[in-house]
Amino acid sequence: MFGVAAVSIWASWSVVTRLVVTTSLDAFDIVALRFGVAGLLLSPVLLRRGLARDRLGWLGLAALIVGTGAPYALVAAGGLRFAPAYDQGALNPGCMPLFVAPIAAIVLGEKLSTTRKLGLSLILAGALAVVGWHAVAWSSSRTFGDGLFLFASFLTACFTVAMRQAKLDPLHAAAIVSTGSLVIYLPIYLPLCGPRLAQLPPAEIAVQGIFQGVLVRIVSLVLYARAVAILGASGTAAFGALVPTLSALFAIPLLGEWPSGIDWDGIILVSGGVYVASGAPLPRHWSIRWAYRTRC
């Protein structure tokens, strides 16, 4: 239940943000609300535990803040202005393992298992189905949005490797990212766009602040950490496979966005690839067959 709740919040971010950036707010406003709220709430954690620069170094600290902080959120939310929410679910969180693998191999010296290679192959096939199909049909705005989603996925992969190398716990990392983004982004945003945000209805600002800064940034993290404590890291990582599919399902009633047949094929391939690449358990007869074919 904790795992499903966490990934449901992550999947709903694509849909809610797509709705908002195509109506009342833009990506700059979303980022300000997200890190303005989360940065204030998590600043006591940062003050108590510090920047962990002894473990991260300046490069690792920058990778954390850029990888899931204000720059990442600007890229991902900006992509939702041009492409549908189900593309975001498949290409951003879904393709992140594709970028983590080569970065981790270079930085951490990690080697890929046969099962993980299979999962990455499925993710790549799904991404090509989603992006390649629309490249053939040529929708320039959607292709641009998909490119932003892939770049956001790369940024998240940099964050993941830096966090793994420094061995930070998720709450500490979230405090560094959120408070760092607050300190860096808000002084730039407020003089340029603050007056526009002040003209919006307070209720809308409060709802987005709670959703972006509390639910997405903090509550989902707590839920996921609780799932890890119960199920273990590999078992919980498998829940990430639900994000592309849930994003597509949530987008149907809330946005009226219906994936095409090739879109569903890509989403299913990415979801299956994320599940396999996460190291989640496979059915026993699949494992035996795959091991036998590999030996052959």
For residue 208, what are the contacts with CB-CB under 8 A and spacing of at least 6?
20, 25, 29, 30, 33
Of 294 and 241, more confident: 241
pLDDT at 240 over 70: yes
Q: What is the pLDDT of residue 149?
A: 94
**Hey, which of 28-32, 114-118, 164-168 has the most confident mean pLDDT?**
28-32
What share of the chain in percent tops pLDDT 90? 35
Of 239 and 154, more confident: 154
pLDDT at 253 over 70: yes
What 3-state DSSP class applies to 89?
helix
Mean pLDDT of 50-62: 90
Cα(220)–Cα(28) distance, integer angstroms: 22
**Hey, which of 70-74, 166-170, 253-257, 272-276 has the most confident mean pLDDT?**
70-74
Q: What is the pLDDT of residue 221?
A: 85
Q: Give whole-number Cα distances, 31 to 53, 180, 217, in Å.
A: 25, 13, 11
Confidence of residue 280 (pLDDT cuts 50, 70, 90): low
* pLDDT (tens digit per residue) in 63-110: 999 998 999 999 999 999 999 999 998 898 888 888 988 888 888 888
Q: What is the pLDDT of residue 166?
A: 85
Q: What is the pLDDT of residue 116?
A: 84
Residues 89, 263 contacting (CB under 8 angstroms): no
What share of the chain in percent tops pLDDT 70? 90
* pLDDT (tens digit per residue) in 23-40: 888 899 999 999 999 999
pTM for the full predicted model: 0.87
Residue tagged 């849909």 (tokens): 15
Q: What is the pLDDT of residue 210?
A: 94
Helix axes 2-21, 220-231, angle to 10 degrees: 150
Q: Give whole-number Cα distances, 156 to 66, 113, 160, 227, 272, in Å.
A: 8, 22, 6, 21, 20
Domain boundaries, the chain: 2-295
- Chain-wide mean pLDDT for the chain? 85
pLDDT at 238 over 80: no
For residue 34, what are the contacts with CB-CB under 8 A and spacing of at least 6?
73, 212, 213, 216, 217
Cα(170)–Cα(163) distance, integer angstroms: 9
Which ranges in the chain belong to alpha helices (H)?
2-21, 27-49, 53-68, 70-79, 85-91, 96-107, 114-137, 140-166, 170-198, 202-209, 220-231, 233-237, 242-255, 261-277, 284-295
Mean pLDDT of 121-140: 77
Distance of CA 168 to the CA centre of its chain: 18
For residue 134, what are the contacts with CB-CB under 8 A and spacing of at least 6?
142, 143, 146
Cα(292)–Cα(272) distance, integer angstroms: 21
